[in-house]
């Protein structure tokens, strides 16, 4: 069992305009935890005395500044999680931040350059590369891609997606077994034997995502998307199977409706996005308080699906994406505050091993036959299945 808190990282989005100096500074001392200091610019235009708090300091495992490339992000954040998944532990990486701060770019990547690939394609490449090197075990890989749009779940890998509208597609529903394990009905699992097959599934899912243009972002993701890699491995001849899941989560961005001034469908989407992020925060606050007996996982679909990732059997990592421009400074502070709360949650990851019942049955049947043969040699008579009268009475 591995006990560890949720790892938190910060990534600063490159600004479009030349940034005015002094909004933030990164302090990366060798001996201390890296910290990000945000300084509120003082607007002295009104001539009033300004007694508001001026600077905020937040600690992260590591902070990636504007010039950090996708390769660095993968090596430092996603690679350790992918390694633990190959070892048989569950893993989750999720990106959180306001709309337009670079969550989708970090998780999925940009479409313009090959070097802009995000965490999902790089993780798939890494996992399949490792599977090819390890010829001692038999691996099977399955992929699922879930979208949560306006609190309804949809399967992004459903082949009927292109032909029909969202309302006509079967909704993914949550079922719970007596052991409180979550099962998703109508979510398909697709086997991927090569990296190419897995990437094709990713691209198919990405084309089916809900995207809209908002005042903050030209291609804003309007839904939460959870890309899951299911990995199972076993050694030839062994009855023990290891299962591991890796959730790569791209959350939809929170936004202040009063600030963006959206209406109609965009407003409905924003309400659902903000509500589900509010429920996520409620779960995180409840988990960070020591004496809470009830954790409100069932409030939203997303917190139900990610139950294991939050305070359960999983190694979880969070990336806080920050857009540190003057107009977004309060949203950035609120993202950092959220990350500090997330860092208080302890997860207990367990090695997911189980005995395959089918292999066990074959093994036991073989053993019974061998014992029967031995008995026949000793007694000199072949046993039949039926019991004698004396044995029955006994």
Q: Dihedral sign for Cα 352, 357, 363, 368, please.
A: positive
Report d(CA 254, CA 374) in Å as an integer: 71
**Angle (CA) 282 311 106, round 5°:** 80
How high is the pLDDT of residue 217?
59
**In terms of Cα–Cα distance, which of 126, 105, 128 is closest to 115?**
105
Structural contact between residues 122 and 76, judged by C-beta atoms closer than 8 angstroms = no
Tell me if 103 is assigned to a ligand binding site: yes
How high is the pLDDT of residue 20?
59
- DSSP state, residue 209: S
Tell me if 104 is assigned to a ligand binding site: yes
Average pLDDT over residues 296-301: 89
How high is the pLDDT of residue 121?
93
Tell me if 205 is assigned to a ligand binding site: no
Tell me if 110 is assigned to a ligand binding site: no
Tell me if 52 is assigned to a ligand binding site: no
337 by DSSP, 3-state: which? Answer: helix
- DSSP state, residue 109: B
Tell me if 153 is assigned to a ligand binding site: no
Determine which of 76-90, 93-107, 379-393 has the lowest per-residue pLDDT on average.
Answer: 379-393
Average pLDDT over residues 313-333: 87
Report d(CA 125, CA 116) in Å as an integer: 14
Tell me if 185 is assigned to a ligand binding site: no
Structural contact between residues 118 and 235, judged by C-beta atoms closer than 8 angstroms = no
Structural contact between residues 185 and 175, judged by C-beta atoms closer than 8 angstroms = yes
How high is the pLDDT of residue 45?
44
Structural contact between residues 59 and 33, judged by C-beta atoms closer than 8 angstroms = yes
What DSSP letter does each residue of 257-276 carry, written as one string?
A: HHHH---HHHHHHHHHHHHH
Tell me if 98 is assigned to a ligand binding site: yes
Q: Is the pLDDT of residue 92 over 90?
A: yes
How high is the pLDDT of residue 134?
85
Query: Which of 24 and 103 is assigned the larger pLDDT?
Result: 103
List the alpha helices (DSSP H) in 166-227. Answer: 195-207
How high is the pLDDT of residue 354?
84
Average pLDDT over residues 374-379: 85
**In terms of Cα–Cα distance, which of 283, 274, 275 is closest to 305?**
283
Distances (CA, A) of 382 to 101, 370, 389: 77, 13, 17
Tens digits of residue pLDDT in 151-175:
888 888 887 766 667 777 788 888 8
Average pLDDT over residues 66-95: 91
CA R_g for the chain: 26
């Amino acid at each position: 069992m591995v006990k560890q808190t949720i790892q938190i990282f910060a990534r600063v989005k490159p600004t479009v305009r030349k940034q005015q100096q002094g909004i933030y500074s990164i302090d990366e001392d060798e001996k201390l935890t890296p910290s990000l200091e945000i300084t509120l610019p003082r607007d002295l235009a009104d001539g009033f005395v300004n007694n508001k708090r001026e600077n905020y300091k937040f600690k992260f495992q590591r902070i990636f500044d504007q010039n950090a490339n996708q390769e660095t992000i993968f090596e430092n954040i996603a690679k350790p999680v992918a390694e633990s998944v190959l070892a048989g532990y569950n893993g989750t990486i999720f990106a959180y931040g306001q709309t337009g701060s670079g969550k989708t770019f970090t998780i999925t990547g940009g479409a313009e350059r090959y070097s802009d690939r995000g965490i999902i394609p790089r993780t798939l490449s890494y996992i399949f590369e490792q599977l090819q090197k390890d010829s001692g075990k038999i691996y099977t890989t399955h992929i699922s891609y879930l979208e949560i749009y306006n609190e309804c779940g949809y399967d992004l890998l459903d082949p009927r997606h292109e032909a029909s509208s969202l309302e006509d597609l079967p909704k993914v529903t949550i079922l719970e077994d007596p052991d409180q394990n979550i099962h998703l009905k109508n979510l398909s699992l697709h086997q991927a034997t090569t990296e190419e097959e897995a990437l094709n599934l990713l691209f198919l899912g990405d084309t089916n995502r809900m995207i809209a243009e908002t005042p903050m972002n030209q291609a804003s993701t309007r839904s939460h998307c959870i890309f899951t890699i299911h990995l199972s491995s076993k050694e030839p001849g062994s009855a023990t199977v290891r299962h591991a899941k890796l959730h790569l989560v791209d959350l939809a961005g929170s936004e202040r409706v009063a600030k963006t001034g959206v209406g109609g469908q965009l407003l409905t989407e924003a309400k659902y996005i903000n509500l589900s992020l509010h429920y996520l925060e409620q779960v995180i606050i409840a988990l960070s308080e020591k004496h809470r007996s009830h954790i409100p996982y069932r409030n939203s679909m997303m917190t139900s699906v990610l139950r294991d990732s939050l305070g359960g059997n999983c190694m979880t990592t969070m990336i806080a994406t920050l857009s540190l421009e003057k107009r977004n400074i309060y949203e950035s502070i609120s993202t950092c505050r959220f990350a500090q709360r997330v860092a208080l949650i302890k997860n207990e990851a367990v090695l997911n091993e189980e005995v395959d019942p089918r292999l066990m049955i074959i093994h036991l049947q073989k053993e019974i036959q061998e014992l029967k043969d031995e008995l026949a040699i000793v007694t000199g008579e072949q046993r039949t299945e039926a019991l004698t009268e004396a044995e029955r009475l006994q």
